[in-house]
Chain A
Amino acid sequence: MDLLNSHLLSLILLTPVAGALVLLLIPRDQVGALRWTAFIASLVPLALSVVLWLNFQPDIAGYQFREDFLWFPLVGSDYRLGVDGVSLPMVLLTALLAPLGVLFSFGVQDKVKAYMILFLLLETGSFGVFMALDLLLFFLFYEIGLIPMYFLINIWGSANKQYASFKFMLYTMAGSLGLLLATQVIGLTLGSFSIENAVTAWPAWSGTIAGLSATTVRAIAFWAFVIAFAIKVPIWPFHTWLPDAHTEAPTAGSMMLAGVLLKLGAYGFLRLVLPLYPVEAAAGAPVLATLATIAIVAAAFASFGQSDFKRLVAYSSVNHMGFVALGVAVAAWTAQHGGAQEGILALNGAVLQMFNHGLSAAGMFLLVGVIYDRTHTRNLDDFGGLMPLMPVYGGLLLFTSMASLGLPGLNGFVSEFMVVRGAFPVFSVLTAISMIGLLMTGAYILYGIYKTIYGPLNTKWVGHTSDISAREVIAWAPLGILMLVLGLAPNWMVSVINAAVARLF
């Protein structure tokens, strides 16, 4: 029990790796054993995360469940983990989505062993980013998540997988180069890679490097950080890797990609960019807000113009993350220019939107995966009036679509309302323009439903498609329940987030 209390985060972090190692030992033809072992290995972090949530005390400032071990004393980097009100929901989200992804992946037939191992490694990478309190550790886990995702897309993806996986990997890595360099600068000038230390010491640092003043160095490092995270979030116009990667990835891969990996970028903004570069971030906030608004509008239109269902959902991810980016921009601006209430609301909304989008995007990708497994096509024009053939699926699709659309009563509305409330007084014109995006969100969601389950029955599917299976419903159910609960009574999560966010203002 003491092990549990003092090393809870490490346990959550390393259980999937341990599971992967166990999987190595299982022969590759024992598919059932592989699947269930992987499932259990991903359930353990979920149980532990729930324990983490219940024992977390929002009223205490700072990070909790800290762990601190020597790692690279020579450069000042330690194995330091901790969670606060912003990272805790992300940990919970990752812990929730991974077992659901594994459960859905029971339908994968070939190279199951490799698949499950890669999936578990992906989970660890994601956990690490959210828990790390050390810049080098952060970067390590940030990059670690890329490799399994690359292989998941490259081997188990659909038609255009080579292009998509390559683009995803190269693009993200290219962005991370600047991040690495800037991280090194911070670590070496401050003598330590600790994030908590950097937050107080870095903005105040006033030395020179190679003849460049501290302000210049900070500005360059700021842009390096921003580029890296902007690619990941993704912020328009750095988003084009996303439609390809999401579309070609296997369903569970898309769930994790949309549900978790995108949040790494947004989390990087919150955890690193805003605290380390308050002045530069405030100066860049209008630009970020503009790009976020363009993302909201352009992605909504692009989604509307799709004929591939999965790509439609992929663009909806860009659209929703645009709200996160808008909230971050507002927070950055108000931290320096006043308007704390707007900043708090916007940031609360942004973090909640990260969690909510994780749920609804994962749900949508899961449902698209269901229909793809049945019909082997994602082309919206091929479907038509499937509701009588798949009534349960139709109901679940309607529900999840409404959450994605931001229907009040479901989770998406709460976070979008909070972001809009925070953004409107600060960036009024941009928020008004983003309403066009919100309008088109309704359009593309309805379009997806229109083509898939409504309309005259397309007789070619009669007798060739079955309704959603129990396993798939069970994989969806936690998402659906949380969507409803968070829509009706969001405060169990918002209070935790708010307690951490309010301290920043």
Chain B
Amino acid sequence: MSPELVSLTWLIPVPPLVSFFLIILLTNRSKALSHTIAIASIATSFVLSWIVAFAAFGTPHFGAEDAIGALSVPWFDVGSGAFMMGVLVDPLTAIMLFFASTAMLAIFVYSVGYGNYGKKLDPHDKPGWPAHNGVDPLYSRFFAYLSLFAFGMLVLILADNLLLMFMGWEVMGLCSYLLIGFWYARKYDDPNKITPRQAGVKAFMTTRVADVIMLLGIVYLYFATGTLSFREIMFAQEGEMLRHLASTPSIVAGLSQASLVGILVLIGTIGKSAQFPLHTWLPDAMEGPTPVSAMIHAAAMVSAGVYSVIRMYPVLAADGLVAHAAEAAGHAAEAAAHHGPVITTPMGVLAFIGAFTALFAATIAVAQNDVKKVLAYSTISQLGFMLAALGIGGYVAAAFHLMTHAFFKALLFLGSGSIIHGMEHGAHHAHDHASDPQDMRYMGGLRHKMPITFVTFFIGGMALAGLPIVTAGFWSKDEILLDAWLHAPAVFYTLALAALLTAFYTTRQLWMVFFGAPRSPSAEHAHESHWTMTAPLVVLSVFAVGAGWLNIPADFPLFGQLVASLGLEPGWLHHFLGGTLVEHPETPAFTLVPLITSLVVALGGITLGWWVYRNAWKTSSDVDPVERTIGGVIYGLLKNKYWVDELYDVLFVKPAFWLGRVFFTGIDKGVIDGFLHGVAWVSVGVGNVFRDYFDKPVVNGASDGSGVAVKWAGRELRPIQTGRVQQYLIMVMAAAFVIGFFMWAAR
């Protein structure tokens, strides 16, 4: 890459940061100026990102030593050396830049309409509460936080080392806290419903649990290799350092250093990408404004989690290098034949958690009635797909699905925001205060009222369900299933089932929202959203359809040759992304079973959903057909998310509060201060004892006593003074006698 372009690269995250500071410090009062600065900044980053990305796309063998963009500076000195930080552009970075910047730009533009820009400030609207029909009172601040979020994501993408990536990661954590809790003053009458500020804290703290463990992993990697730079660890010298990490035992028995680092880092992803057991924050994050949900759950934050494990994949898979080498040393004949990627311990953990979460979340999504909650659980589920794919060695499949998911999930979230806005407008017009604008039971028939939203949401939903051929979701999901079929059948069956459920609940959602008759006055009077909201939807839907065509495998029946005949490279993504790794991952050979399975689960799920729901949900108080089928108890289990939140509250949250009190009141005040007060009390007591039993009687007594003694002696000797001369003379005689005696004795 040309040096000019590389120096341009570090500029990419800068405009959003500048926008953040400008809005916070200067333009807070002017809404127009604030959003203009914000959108201009993200647009600049977008343009720069695409320039860099396409330059990378056009570079042959991008990813090899001489064909990447890198620039680093010393960040802090250590001993005689320094820790370096900088930017790196390799194939994975290029892909991330491509889709993340696009999605974020769409979200920024969308936020203008979502914040009701153009409407007057409603005097009933208070800061910290969602606006009813006027412009949001904290409109400028929203763009400031969004800009900071974009900054964090871009830093994370462009980081050339794990520490800088972690820094971007944490900045996004902060922004998610600020944005989820954006309506900080909002409270609900129902005490069991989580408020936005509580949800913000929950998100921050849940991900922080994962983050502090990930920090240990980062620290350990730094210790084991002396660097955190991606290229140095994973690419330099044909991956020499990876082999070293895989063959050195770590401080945890049974794990190599690579495995330990891999596990610790993937725990970070479990938190950030909301996998079981750290998934509970994501559904509650729906309390934030919808563009935030799109940002966090599609474009940026959860993508960051998946990106980090994709980036760290060589370390996770490092044990396999050593295993292969051992094989090669021992069995020369078989050495050449790879049996697929070795599933190392961290990869196994990842695959298990990913697959489990994919199915787990999909089952919960079936029973949700809030339009955003369905999308939330579907996000968790899709992330599970990606992580499972990575865990079984499907490097490109995971990245591919990450990209397509970013597009169609952002589309779906923004679409849901449009739906909710439409419902709110309808509620305002119809003075309907009984129906919750986010609850799907009160929707229905919106396809007539909000056509653009309908079409784009439909496209996104079909992409999520994996409608064959025409949607990007199909291609990426198919690749995952292909990899799973070839390398890990257990994962394959789990993911296939989850895909079926995905298609099912998506169709359910589409039906409940857009088809049938409106079930409430709000739905009756809903109308289409502002162009600033619908235009991004349209743009994203193009990507939701087209992004899949980047990676149609060459040996795919019919379409492989179609793509090649058009002059495009089939399986381009696979080839391009492979350059990130030292060894290009092999392209899985086309197999019929996974394709059939993809078609069956997608089409089957959609059909099943249509068939179950086509006559259901006539009124808002209907019972869901699934509930009728599987019974209220199991349905309740699904609807209440398997009571995991309540479990955590008992296991962790309440004990934390209790410990807080224990440490302060019990230990500090009780034990330690009690000890100190005891020492003080003993000291005062000892002092008193000394005073009462020594000082007063002995010392004082001695000095008093000497006076008394003198007085006594005087009083006793007084009688000698009789005043009688003869007496005195007798005494003289006696004294003379005594003296004379002594003089006689001493002679």
In the complex, A touching B (Cβ < 8 A): yes
Task: Give me the interface of A with B, judged by CB distance under 8 Å.
Answer: 167, 171, 237, 239-240, 243, 298-299, 301-306, 315, 340-342, 344-345, 348, 385, 387-388, 395, 398, 402, 407-409, 413-414, 417-418, 420-421, 424-425, 428, 431-432, 435-436, 438-440, 442-444, 446-447, 450, 453-457, 489-491, 494-495, 498-499, 502, 505
| 10 A-B pairs whose Cβ atoms sit less than 8 Å apart in the complex | A171-B676, A304-B659, A341-B78, A395-B24, A413-B167, A421-B219, A424-B219, A442-B205, A453-B184, A505-B79
The 6 residue pairs across chains A and B that have the minimum distance between CB atoms: A305-B660, A408-B167, A304-B660, A454-B184, A435-B212, A302-B663
Determine whether the beta carbon of B79 is less than 8 Å from that of A344.
yes
Contacts of B220 in A (CB 8 A): 424-425
Chain A residues within an 8 Å CB radius of B204:
442, 446
The chain A residue sitting closest to B676, CB to CB, is: A240
**Main SS of the interface on chain B?**
helix
List 11 additional A-B contacts (Cβ < 8 Å) besides A301-B659, A457-B185: A240-B673, A306-B660, A306-B664, A341-B226, A387-B185, A420-B216, A431-B219, A454-B128, A454-B197, A456-B187, A502-B80
- On whether the beta carbons of A408 and B171 are closer than 8 Å, the reply is yes
Q: Which of B78, B82, B672 contacts A237 (CB 8 A)?
A: B672
Once bound together, how far apart are the Cα atoms of A439 and B187, in whole Å? Answer: 26
Whether A498 and B76, one on each chain, are in contact in the complex, defined by CB atoms closer than 8 angstroms, is yes
Q: Contacts A301-B663, A418-B76, A439-B209 given; indicate if A409 touches B167 (C-beta within 8 A).
A: yes
Q: B657: which of A299, A305, A387, A425 is its contact (CB, 8 Å)?
A: A305
Given A417-B163, A435-B215, is A446 in contact with B205 using a C-beta cutoff of 8 Å? yes
- B729 proximal to A (CB < 8 A): no
Instruction: Report the separation of the CA atoms of residues A409 and B82 in the bound assembly, to the nearest whole angstrom.
Output: 18
Size band of the interface chain B makes with A: 35 or more
Closest-CB distance, B148 to chain A (whole angstroms): 10
A243 to B126 Cα, complex, angstroms: 37
Query: Which of B75, B79, B171, B201: most chain A CB closer than 10 A?
Result: B79
Q: CB of B668 within 8 A of chain A?
A: yes
Docked Cα-Cα span, A494 to B213, in Å, equals: 26
What is the CB-to-nearest-CB distance from B265 to chain A, in angstroms, rounded to a whole number? 14
Minimal beta-carbon separation of B447 from chain A (angstroms): 38
Query: Closest A-chain residue to B169, C-beta based?
Result: A408
User: Are A450 and B205 within 8 A (Cβ)?
Assistant: no
Q: How far is the CB of A500 from chain B (nearest CB, A)?
A: 11
What separation, in Å, do the CA atoms of A303 and B204 have in the docked complex? 18
How many whole Å from B245's CB to the nearest CB in chain A?
14
B660 close to A302 (CB less than 8 A): yes
A421 adjacent to B660 (CB under 8 Å): no
Contact (A301, B185) CB under 8 Å given A240-B668, A491-B76: no
Which B143-186 residues have C-beta < 8 A from chain A? 163, 166-171, 174, 177-178, 181, 184-186
Contacts of B208 in A (CB 8 A): 438-439, 442
Known: A305-B661, A413-B167, A424-B220. A446 touches B177 (CB 8 A): yes
Known: A298-B667, A442-B204. A388 touches B126 (CB 8 A): yes
Among B645-688, those with CB < 8 Å from A are: 656-657, 659-665, 667-669, 672-673, 676
Q: Are B657 and A342 in contact (CB under 8 A)?
A: no
Interface status of B485 (Cβ within 8 A of chain A): no
- Which A residues touch B667, using CB under 8 A? 298, 302
Pairwise interchain contact B222-A421, C-beta atoms closer than 8 A: yes
User: With A and B bound together, what is the CA distance between A322 and B209 in angstroms?
Assistant: 20
Give the distance in Å from the alpha carbon of A436 to the alpha carbon of B209 in the complex: 8
In the complex, whether B118 has a CB less than 8 A from a CB of chain A is no
Contact A502 B79 (CB under 8 A): yes
Q: Are B77 and A494 in contact (CB under 8 A)?
A: yes
**Of the residues A301, A490, A491, contact of B662 by C-beta under 8 Å:** A301
A395 to B, closest residue via Cβ: B24
Q: Once the chains are docked, how many angstroms separate the CA of A275 from the CA of B437? A: 68
A415 to chain B, nearest CB (A): 10
Residue of B75, B181, B216 contacting most chain A CB atoms (<10 Å): B216
B218-245 vs A, CB cutoff 8 Å, 1 = contact: the mask equals 0110110010000000000000000000
Complex Cα spacing A498 to B668, Å: 36
Contact partner, B663, options A167, A305, A388, Cβ 8 Å: A305
Q: Nearest Cβ in chain B — how far from A58, in angstroms? A: 9
B74 CB–A CB distance under 8 Å = yes
Partner of A304, one of B126, B197, B657, B672: B657
Question: Smallest distance from the beta carbon of A438 to chain B beta carbons, Å?
Answer: 5
The residue of chain B having its C-beta at the shortest distance from the C-beta of A398 within the complex is B178
Shortest distance between the CB of A19 and any CB in chain B (Å) = 34
* Chain B: minimal CB distance from A362 (Å): 22
Shortest CB-to-CB span from B180 to chain A, Å, is: 12
* A436 to B205 CA separation, bound complex (whole angstroms): 11
The answer to whether A385 touches B76, judged by C-beta atoms less than 8 angstroms apart, is: no
Determine how close the nearest CB of chain B comes to the CB of A377; give it in whole angstroms: 19
* Complex Cα spacing A234 to B79, Å: 28
B127 at the interface (CB under 8 A from A): yes
B212–A446 CB distance below 8 A:
no
B79 near A341 (CB under 8 angstroms)?
A: yes
B-chain residues with CB within 8 Å of residue A505 when the two chains form the complex:
79
Residues of A within 8 A of B78 (CB): 341, 344-345, 348, 498
Q: How far is the CB of B665 from chain A (nearest CB, A)?
A: 7
Interface centre among B656, B665, B668 (most CB of A within 10 A): B668
User: Which of B128, B662, B663, B673: most chain A Cβ within 10 A?
Assistant: B663
CB atoms of A402 and B174 under 8 A apart: yes
> Could you say which residues of chain A place their CB within 8 Å of the CB of B126?
388, 457
Instruction: Type the 1/0 row for B60-86, where 1 means its CB is closer than 8 Å to any CB of A.
Output: 000000000000001111111010000
Decide: A413 and B75 in contact? CB cutoff 8 A.
no
A424 pairs with B216, CB closer than 8 A? yes
Are the C-beta atoms of A385 and B184 separated by less than 8 Å? yes
Contact B212 A438 (CB under 8 A): yes
Q: Min CB distance, A303 to chain B, in Å?
A: 8
B251 within 8 A of A: yes
Determine whether the beta carbon of B185 is less than 8 Å from that of A385. Answer: yes
